[in-house]
Amino acid sequence: MELLRRLPKVDTLLKEEEVQKYLNRLPRDLVVEKLRLSIDIIRKRILKMEDTSSIFSLQEECLMEFKRIISLLDDMNFKRVINGTGIVIHTNLGRSILSEGSKKALIKAATYYSNLEYDLESGKRGSRYKNVIEDIKYLIGAEDGLVVNNNAAAVLLVLNTICKDKEAIISRGELVEIGGSFRIPEIMKLSGGTLVEVGTTNRTHLKDYEEAISENTGAILKVHTSNYKILGFTKEVKSKELVDVSLKYNIPIIEDLGSGLIERLDIDGASDEKTARECIEDGVDILTFSGDKLLGGPQCGIIVGKRVWIEKIKKNQLNRALRVDKFTLAALEGTLKEYVKGCSFNIPTINMLTMPLKDIENKIDLLIKELSFLDDKFNIEKSLEKSLVGGGSLPLLEIDTYVLKINSEFLKDHVIEEELRKNHIPIVVRVSRGKIIIDGRCLILDDIDVIKEAFKSIGEKI
């Protein structure tokens, strides 16, 4: 094809003044690579017959494409995203947003040297956990603890320490799978231990545990079914009921709480969720939970319990591979301090989950006002709906919320959704019955201006 033969060569484009500017500040190999990519994009357009009527020469088109591609170098792939789904602990969107205290602590950790593993009292090497463990012990009532990079790591580390070459007894109703194919049986296999399943999927009795105990039993494992519930004809043995069996046979109880609830949530329907302190008070020997779910902090796995077991876990060589860095510890301490001071409302996750319905309605009303210019092209309505907690926490809980429902006779719902998702600040929404749904629960005031500008751009295309 004649057009293909007229495509410029890389050497020709390198001589252009526009390209020379980039050569002065970027590596030559990088510029050459982007030029080749630009030429290839125009080539593909020609082959699709998309470029036969351009008012620009092929050389100009290649240069325009090159400048577009090269400008993306300053555009981070890791982006701010607006959460219009109403799912507060949205795993795909980074779960919990950090509090102001956590953000300040992160900036200090990034800007200055810190006492990460330096004991300021003795002037000698110290423990990296010391700066957060006192707050954790105070809030939960445990004897000791440590922090690893996520809760899956916490469970793996505990099982490898306590149950390697031994057995762990678990109810069949607790053989959970969390997102990302995290399955208790696979984690146990990786830890070097063996699962002994007792009871049935829906009913497990105390005698089932006791009858399964042998000389090779390493622990009794309780796993909180945080992302589903079994209802109906059911029977579960609570951790508190297992304490007598644990003491009788000198076998520790390990409980994976998962969600990491520190204090009761003021939400109807959330009263059944156990707090970490309640687990410890029940007599659990070792407890694991996430830092970025209902606790509302950074991603991490927190292990607490009786000192004799925590000391063994700390000495496990896996602990070094799974340990957290200074940024996680700084953000975690910033979050914990809010609980210690009785200011958990400063933690965005807690704030969003317990937000008064009127406050959510006010955000939606403001958004409707800002989008009033769309009345001739879009249908906009306010509706009372339900939000979800997300993150595998409180799966049956639905919280009243206000949403904005938007549709247009000129554009299909999937087209509007894609335009919003591909906005310079991506806006993630729900789509239902041909309408775009923006939930007000997770919106912050800055988001409203971004949404307004995005719809203005969409409206101009109609």
Q: Are 191 and 221 in contact (CB under 8 A)?
A: no
Which of 49-53, 113-117, 188-192, 305-309 shows the lowest mean pLDDT across its residues? Answer: 49-53
pTM, two decimal places: 0.86
Report how far residue 214's alpha carbon sits from residue 206's, in angstroms, rounded to the nearest whole number: 15
pLDDT in tens, 247-263: 999 999 999 998 889 99
User: What is the pLDDT averaged over residues 116-127?
Assistant: 93
Most confident of 42-56, 64-78, 307-321, 384-398: 307-321
Which of 152-161, 257-266, 386-395 shows the lowest mean pLDDT across its residues? Answer: 386-395
User: What is the pLDDT averaged over residues 325-335?
Assistant: 97
Helices 184-191 and 151-163 pack at an angle, to 10 degrees, of 50
Report how far residue 313's alpha carbon sits from residue 243's, in angstroms, rounded to the nearest whole number: 21
Average per-residue pLDDT in the chain? Answer: 90
Report pLDDT for 108: 97
Which amino acid is it at 264?
R
Residue 1 has pLDDT above 70, yes or no: no
Show the tokens assigned to 97: 């947003």
Report pLDDT for 429: 97
Q: Dihedrals φ, ψ of 274, to 5°?
A: -75, 145
- Place 179 in a pLDDT band, splitting at 50, 70 and 90: low
* 3-state secondary structure string across 226-264: CCCCCCCCCECCCHHHHHHHHHHHCCCEEEEEECCCCCC
- Place 286 in a pLDDT band, splitting at 50, 70 and 90: very high
Report how far residue 386's alpha carbon sits from residue 401's, in angstroms, rounded to the nearest whole number: 5
Indicate the burial class of 196 (C-beta count within 10 angstroms; 0-12, 13-18, 19 or more).
Answer: buried
Report pLDDT for 354: 94
Report pLDDT for 413: 92
pLDDT in tens, 367-383: 999 999 887 889 999 99
Report pLDDT for 49: 72
